[in-house]
Amino acid sequence: MTGVAWELGLLAGLASRGVELARADLVVGTSAGSVVGAQVCSGVPVEQLYAAQLRPATGEVAARFGMGAVARLLWAGGRTRDEVRSRARIGAMALAARTPSEASRRAVIEGRLPSSRWPTRRLLVTAVDAASGEFVAFDSASGVSLVDAVGASCAVPGVWPPVTIGDRRYVDGGVRSAVNADLAAGAEAVVVLAPVSSAFGPMPRLSAQLAALRRGARVAVVAPDVAARRAIGRNVLDPARRAGAARAGRAQAAAVADEVAAVWG
């Protein structure tokens, strides 16, 4: 919830200063970023998307992602150095967890998207196979509906239900990496918006992904500043924090606009 709001606030603030990231040729969305990616690629003006974040969060379901949930993830995935095995262990925990129904969660995700159709621009939506630990990046050619792809990318293990696609079930793309920035390899300019950038166990570190990207690209990274972290709060799934997080993102844009513009050109 707060990641979506902060990113849209930041995008709106940057656009108001002439830095229009929503025109990117490629958008890679992980978890909250998958919602934002689908929204900005839909053609709806980013200012309108930002304004929606300031309204009451009707249709959203409150949930808690605190230290207990983090501890369960660490316990499930941090006991091996094998990336795929780590993800599969987290997936097994997610499959066994008591969560709301898939149908109720799908309705929430669908309500967040301006369109249920894949955009014409290239959008990659990341997820992880809950059983095998395989990392996937859905796109318009994958044969998967946009709503299901975004729902899978937002399926926080232990909080929301894994999403059924075909005969497989999928969880949050953040199980592999909080940003999956390496999927932008080959681009000339990359801007990473990272409401969360931490990693544990064998997860790829953002620093390593950025180092690889910088061998051939101009790269800028924006994470929440102190004021934004305060607005986001400790529970990133709290709908009551949405408007404050959005405003904090927009305010932060003033401080990072020059740095991002230097990369974006």
Nearest-10 crossing angle of helices 242-264, 46-53: 150
Are 28 and 150 in contact by the 8 Å Cβ rule? The answer is no
The C-alpha torsion from 41 through 42 and 43 to 48, rounded to 10°, is: -100
**Which amino acid appears at position 124 of this protein?**
L
Are 170 and 87 in contact by the 8 Å Cβ rule? The answer is no
Catalytic, out of 34, 129, 148, 172: 172
Q: Which residues of 172-191 are buried (b: 16+ CB within 10 A; e: fewer)?
A: bbbbbbbbbbebbeebebbb
Q: Encoding tokens for residue 108?
A: 């929430």
Catalytic, out of 31, 34, 86, 177: 31
Annotated catalytic residue 31: yes
CA gap 260, 238 in Å, rounded = 29
Nearest-10 crossing angle of helices 102-112, 32-40: 40
User: Among 40, 47, 54, which Cα is nearest to 5's?
Assistant: 54
Nearest-10 crossing angle of helices 2-15, 46-53: 140
Residues identified as active-site: 31, 172
